């Protein structure tokens, strides 16, 4: 992703307010948002100017580690301008950031001076943890919070009515007039998109018709008696199914009864709307007028009262139900597939489409009327025409809707939103995939690809790692300035705003230089034809023109003459057509398969931070195996050694001699002595951010499973645990389903956080390395957890995790004495470590440190002896990689025999003592 920082403009980029004379409303300029107390003072709407907001741009904005800052600002802005002008189907997802500027001046929600923070400061005694609580559906559980919500809605409605569209809204209107705006998905509830002239809403109730034959048949008649009624009421859709602007979070323009679903328009032009606003301003609920009339009629008729419902504002709250979710989902699905509505305005056509249309028009003119040119008219034909003319029906022929080819979105603009809502995040991801697939058939390295997905905002979404591979460019700066830059200066026409056009003429990016590739020259048999670089399938070449079925076009639309066709042999034309068809088929096959985001880690050198686990001055063998795995990533490996000064420096010297390690980082502190996750995870986070590591690796041990997940949370990355194979910088193999299956996992995070199964990789050599040692200041390491006591078990047997021979016992031993009597003597004779199954550990027969299995220790010794173990799935996952497996069990159907190399069906109380004696 490319980050382009907008330069500061020489003059303020904003629109001045226009005087509005019609309408009056009752509120004072000194009224505050959410205030229940009101004053009855009338002011014209045009005189009640909202206070101009001073938005403070956030400082120290962090840039994702997978992004890089542009060094050629004008060139890159010219690129996005050219892509914007060439796009035909532009989808827009916007938030509150497009309405904070003048002349709207509506506060956003989540910034330091936004609505959530101001509401909490304004009502310190209301018990609000944040202003977000007033947008949670649970607020209706308290009368006080409900009253605050009603009053806040009334004030927001006043601000929305006084607000006027910003420059970004005017840019959307321009796109709609040109026919290039596919859809606007807005998170705002102010309705400014409707004020600027866009159709607004979620579509008609019939927009989501059933698609299956069985459900669709229910819409029509089942008998002749009611066919005339049902068939006549089927919707005809004379207007588009969905408006141009879709409010994802509802709107302040209406209220709905929670009992009878009656709709009430919140407008001051109607008496009911004015009364409802006054009721909300007092902090009181609005009663449904329809329910009151129905209740009065039922009471007069002697029927039981059904109650009177309350009106709720059509705004989607947190933890609330979105009644328009199905309509929004249907609209998103149609837009992603590129399904076009025949009742929508025409989309600008490409040069190829223009030539095809004009060629068909010329063919129709040349063919003419065959009945006239075929010869003379016979008498019987004339007589038949006379009789036929008398029987002609005057009804006009039925018009069939036009069949339009699908046009998926080819550009996505995300502006003024922090992308915190899950539904909006999914919409952005899906549209990004649909737009970026347009570049699937482009040859790599030919020239710079067009910018398909643009993010416009001051700061980036907080969870930056999940947006890797989604955006092509982040325009960091004022949204209104970016909107002006994308607009093209035009000659003034009727309906255009002079103030907007004057700003566009001064701040447009149309004059910024771009690197245009030279024309390609095709040569065949001493004939050369120059092909324009922008004349590609799906791209607009030159100025956009509105398509039409008529040769002369609509009024006011002037089409340039058709350029002369190049002179070339027919074989060259066949070659060009075959190349175009093959490209289309290739793009279609790629679109059918799921896309994989390009790994951002491959764009820079891979450097690995490896956490070294040690005990009593000795490096854990699992960390040495992690070094072997990390070498497959490429780049340098920096080993991190933490602990007290007495042990850490000695371990650092030993780590510097490990082959494959380039540098050793040492951080000493008393907080690190116990290797707890709380103080070490923040240290890993700071090192990754300061030194730009692409991978964080540790052994899959008890210590690694404690530290690495916490570090992954601090880095906002997903952990890939217990890998057994490395297929690439971002692709790993790990066991699943208790080791019965292997999963290939590809991480899209900017920083890959991985734990390595020690037995799956050879341990790196501890001799021959010559890494440098660098001390790292830990600062004040947090220490919320303190190690009180550590009791070490004394044993002369090998360590279970690294032992070459292991003898394990199961629940059949029946007690801890059974382990001491049968398992330990056999282990001593073999020089093996002692293990246990989970069932034996849970029963208290063996210590928890001896558990072998998926939730215990993973072992892969040369010899593994399973005594009295049936072979549960989770136990097999911890020992199935052993070289030789010997099972002793009296049940011949035990699952352990399916993986054992040697099996002894016998009573362990007899077989084990005899085996120990013979050894």
Which residue ranges are tagged as binding site for Zn(2+)? 257, 260, 288, 331
Return the exposure string of 603-616: e unless at least 16 CB atoms fall within 10 Å of the residue's CB, then b: eeebbbbbbbbbee
Name the CA dihedral angle for 348, 350, 354, 355, rounded to a multiple of 10 degrees.
180
> Strand pairing partners for 2?
68, 473
Angstrom distance (rounded) from CA 756 to CA 720:
9
**464 neighbors 444 (Cβ within 8 angstroms):** no
Query: If residue 169 lies in a helix (H) or strand (E), which one and from where to where?
Result: helix 167-178
**886 neighbors 876 (Cβ within 8 angstroms):** no
Angstrom distance (rounded) from CA 429 to CA 452:
13
**Beta-strand relationship, 310-315 and 286-287:** antiparallel
Angstrom distance (rounded) from CA 547 to CA 541:
14
Residue among 22, 320, 276, 289 at smallest CA distance from 154 = 276
Query: If residue 614 lies in a helix (H) or strand (E), which one and from where to where?
Result: strand 614-615
Angstrom distance (rounded) from CA 267 to CA 262:
16
3-state DSSP assignment of residue 756: strand
Catalytic residue, chosen from 169, 249, 327, 647, is 249
Angstrom distance (rounded) from CA 691 to CA 751:
12
113 Cα distance to chain centroid:
26
Backbone angles phi, psi at 619, to 5 degrees: -75, 135
**547 neighbors 526 (Cβ within 8 angstroms):** no
Whether the bond into 59 is cis, omega within 30 of 0: no
Q: Is 682 exposed, middle or buried (0-12, 13-18, 19+ CB in 10 A)?
A: middle
Helix %, strand %, coil % of the chain (to 5): 35, 15, 45
Residue 586: CB atoms within 10 A of its CB come to 12
Give, as one character, the DSSP assignment of residue 659.
Answer: T
**346 neighbors 321 (Cβ within 8 angstroms):** no
The residues, any chain, with a CB within 8 Å of residue 630's CB and separated by 6 or more, are 608, 610, 637, 660, 695, 697
Long-range contacts of 721-724 (CB under 8 A, 24+ apart): 721/754, 721/755, 722/755, 722/756, 722/757, 722/858, 723/629, 723/754, 723/755, 723/756, 723/757, 723/760, 724/757, 724/760
Annotated catalytic, 75? no
Cα first-last separation, the chain: 66
Residue numbers annotated as active site? 249
């Amino acid at each position: 992703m490319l980050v382009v920082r907008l330069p500061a403009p020489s003059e303020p980029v904003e629109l001045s307010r226009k005087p509005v004379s019609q309408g009056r409303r009752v509120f004072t300029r000194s009224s505050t948002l959410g205030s229940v107390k009101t004053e009855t003072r009338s002011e014209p709407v045009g005189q009640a100017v909202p206070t101009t907001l001073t938005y403070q741009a956030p400082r120290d904005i962090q840039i994702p580690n997978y992004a890089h800052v542009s060094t050629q600002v004008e060139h890159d802005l010219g690129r996005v301008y050219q892509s914007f002008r060439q796009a035909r189907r532009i989808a827009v997802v916007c938030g509150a950031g497009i309405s904070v500027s003048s002349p709207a001046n509506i506060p956003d929600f989540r910034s330091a001076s936004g609505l959530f923070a101001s509401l909490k400061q304004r009502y310190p005694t209301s018990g609000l943890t944040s202003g977000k609580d007033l947008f949670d559906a649970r607020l209706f559980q308290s009368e006080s919070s409900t009253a605050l919500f009603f009053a806040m809605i009334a004030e927001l409605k006043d601000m929305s009515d006084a607000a006027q569209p910003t420059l970004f809204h005017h840019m959307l209107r321009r796109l709609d007039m040109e026919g290039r705006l596919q859809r606007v998905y807005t998170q705002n509830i102010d309705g400014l998109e409707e004020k600027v002239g866009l159709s607004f809403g979620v579509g008609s109730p019939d927009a989501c018709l059933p698609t299956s034959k069985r459900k669709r048949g229910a819409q029509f008649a089942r008998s002749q008696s009611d066919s005339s009624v049902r068939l006549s009421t089927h919707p005809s859709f004379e207007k588009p199914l969905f408006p141009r602007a879709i409010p994802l979070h509802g709107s302040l323009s209406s209220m709905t009864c929670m009992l009878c679903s009656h709709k009430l328009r919140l407008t001051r032009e109607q008496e009911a709307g004015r009364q409802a606003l006054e009721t909300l301003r007092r902090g009181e609920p609005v009663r449904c007028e329809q329910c009151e009339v129905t209740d009065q009629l039922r009471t007069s008729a002697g029927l039981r009262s059904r109650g009177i419902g309350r009106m709720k504002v059509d705004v989607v709250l947190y933890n609330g139900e979105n009644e328009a979710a199905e309509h929004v989902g249907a609209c998103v699905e149609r837009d992603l597939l590129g399904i076009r509505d025949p009742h929508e305005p025409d989309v600008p056509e490409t040069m190829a489409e223009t030539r095809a249309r004009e060629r068909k028009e010329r063919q129709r003119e040349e063919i003419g009327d065959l009945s006239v040119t075929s010869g003379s008219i016979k008498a019987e034909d004339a007589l038949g025409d006379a009789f036929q003319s008398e029987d002609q029906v005057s009804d006009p022929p039925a018009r069939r809707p036009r069949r339009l080819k699908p046009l998926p979105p080819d550009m996505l603009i995300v502006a003024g939103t922090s992308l915190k809502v899950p539904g909006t995040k999914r919409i952005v991801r899906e549209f990004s995939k649909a737009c970026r697939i347009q570049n699937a058939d482009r040859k790599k390295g030919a020239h710079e690809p067009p910018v398909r997905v643009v993010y416009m905002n001051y700061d980036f979404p907080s969870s930056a790692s999940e947006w890797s591979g989604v955006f092509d460019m982040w325009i960091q700066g004022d949204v209104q300035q970016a909107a002006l830059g994308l607009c093209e200066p035009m000659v003034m026409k009727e309906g255009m705003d002079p103030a907007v056009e004057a700003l566009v003429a001064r701040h447009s990016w149309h004059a910024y230089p771009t690197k245009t590739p030279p024309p390609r020259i095709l040569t065949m048999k001493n004939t050369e034809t120059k092909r324009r670089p922008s004349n590609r399938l799906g791209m607009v070449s030159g100025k956009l023109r509105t398509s039409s079925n008529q040769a002369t076009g609509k009024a006011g639309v002037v089409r340039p003459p058709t350029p002369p066709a190049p002179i070339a042999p027919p074989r060259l034309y066949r070659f060009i057509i075959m190349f175009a068809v093959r490209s289309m088929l290739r793009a279609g096959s790629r679109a059918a398969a799921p896309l994989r985001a390009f790994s951002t880690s491959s764009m820079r050198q891979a450097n690995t931070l490896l956490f070294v686990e040690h005990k009593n001055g000795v490096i854990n063998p699992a960390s040495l195996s992690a070094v072997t795995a990390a070498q497959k990533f490429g780049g340098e490996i920096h080993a991190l050694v933490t602990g007290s000064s007495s042990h850490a420096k000695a371990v650092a010297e030993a780590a510097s001699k490990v082959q494959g390690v380039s540098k050793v980082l040492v951080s000493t502190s008393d907080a690190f002595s116990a290797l707890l996750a709380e103080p070490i995870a923040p240290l890993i986070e700071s090192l990754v951010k300061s030194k730009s590591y692409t991978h964080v690796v540790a052994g899959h041990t008890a210590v690694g499973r404690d530290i690495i997940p916490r570090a992954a949370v601090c880095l906002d990355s997903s952990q890939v645990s217990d890998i057994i194979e490395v297929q690439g910088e971002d692709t790993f193999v790990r066991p699943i389903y208790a080791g019965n299956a292997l999963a290939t996992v590809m991480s899209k995070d900017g920083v890959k956080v991985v734990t390595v199964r020690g037995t799956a990789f050879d341990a790196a050599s501890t001799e021959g390395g010559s890494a440098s040692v660098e001390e790292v200041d830990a600062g004040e390491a947090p220490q919320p957890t303190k190690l009180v006591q550590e009791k070490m078990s004394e044993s002369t047997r090998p360590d279970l995790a690294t032992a070459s021979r292991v003898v394990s016992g199961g629940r059949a031993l029946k007690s801890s004495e059974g382990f001491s009597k049968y398992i330990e003597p056999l282990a001593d004779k073999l020089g093996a470590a002692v293990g246990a199954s989970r069932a034996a550990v849970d029963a208290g027969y063996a210590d928890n440190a001896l558990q072998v299995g998926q939730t215990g220790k993973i072992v892969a010794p040369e010899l593994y002896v399973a005594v009295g173990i049936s072979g549960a799935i989770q136990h097999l996952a911890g020992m199935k990689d052993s070289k030789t497996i010997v099972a002793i069990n009296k049940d011949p159907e035990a699952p352990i025999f399916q993986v054992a190399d040697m099996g002894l069906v016998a009573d362990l109380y007899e077989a084990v003592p005899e085996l120990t004696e013979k050894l």
